[in-house]
Amino acid sequence: MRLLLTQDGTPTLFHPGYGEAYHPRQGALLQARRLYLEKTLTHLHPAPRVLEVGLGLLVNFRVTLESALRRGVRLRYLAVEREPLSPELLAQVSLPLAQGAAVWAEILRGWPRERFAGPWGELRVVFGDVREAPLPRGWATAVYLDPFSPRVNPEPWSLPVLKRLRGALRPGGRLATYSAQGAFRLALKEAGFALHRVPGVGKREWTVGIAAKVPRG
């Protein structure tokens, strides 16, 4: 697999099995910041606890780490990933994130491992399928839902998974994702989220779900 450049100058990867890239052509870093970090309000949270579905190239993690380090807050990050990439490939993912460089180097030295920790916080990775992965209850302040699209990678967008993600969020916690697909949005509401359509960058709409209601079932 070969890295490609997105329009903001940051790299992505094309996955031949899914027939899609890991990030939108408008920018890997751009999406990580404007959608996942900011639309979940993680960039303002004093004690962020992020649950990510699809760790991929760790762009979202590194952007979130950078924000936490700049603000002097401790980050707790739990990710589910069923197809971890090699440390050799991840080492080529160069991002302009200076504060997190030392932590990133430490993670690369140990990758793949289930837990990394330091004064900066903690990264835990569940290597498996989100349909079966053990998830904490009422823990996350944010969910980054970032699998491939519902068309080619339907499982993580399904009602049973969305109910599990709702259960993992604290009340008021936010889920963000790039998809605006109708069936997914209906399932999100059914899973107990208040649905918000937000303007996307390079895309008409993104989706934010707020864990406002008591989850059903």
Ligand X SMILES: C[S@@+](CC[C@H](N)C(=O)[O-])C[C@H]1O[C@@H](n2cnc3c(N)ncnc32)[C@H](O)[C@@H]1O
Q: For binding to ligand X (CB under 6 A), which residues are involved?
A: 22, 32, 54-60, 80-83, 129-130, 146-148, 153, 155-156
Q: Show Cβ contacts of residue 45 under 8 Å, excluding neighbours closer than 6 positions.
A: 73, 141, 142
Task: Name the residue nearer to ligand X (CB basis): 156 or 173.
Answer: 156
Q: How far apart are CA 29 and CA 12, in angstroms?
A: 10
Smallest separation, CB 213 to ligand X (Å): 25
Q: How far apart are CA 44 and CA 28, in angstroms?
A: 21
| Tokens matching residue 27 | 């920018």
| Tokens matching residue 130 | 């989100």
Q: How far apart are CA 89 and CA 161, in angstroms?
A: 29
Task: Name the residue nearer to ligand X (CB basis): 22 or 120.
Answer: 22
CA dihedral 130, 135, 138, 141 (to 10 degrees): -60
Asked if 108 and 87 touch (Cβ cutoff 8 Å), the reply is yes
Task: Name the residue nearer to ligand X (CB basis): 121 or 147.
Answer: 147
Smallest separation, CB 165 to ligand X (Å): 12
Write the DSSP symbol of residue 56.
T
Task: Name the residue nearer to ligand X (CB basis): 53 or 211.
Answer: 53
Smallest separation, CB 187 to ligand X (Å): 15
Smallest separation, CB 68 to ligand X (Å): 16
Task: Name the residue nearer to ligand X (CB basis): 87 or 171.
Answer: 87
Where does 111-160 show beta strands of DSSP type E? 115-118, 121-127, 140-145
Task: Name the residue nearer to ligand X (CB basis): 9 or 172.
Answer: 9
Smallest separation, CB 214 to ligand X (Å): 26
Smallest separation, CB 193 to ligand X (Å): 19
| Tokens matching residue 166 | 């709702």
DSSP string, 9-28: S-EEEEETTTTEESS-TT-H
| Tokens matching residue 121 | 């916080």
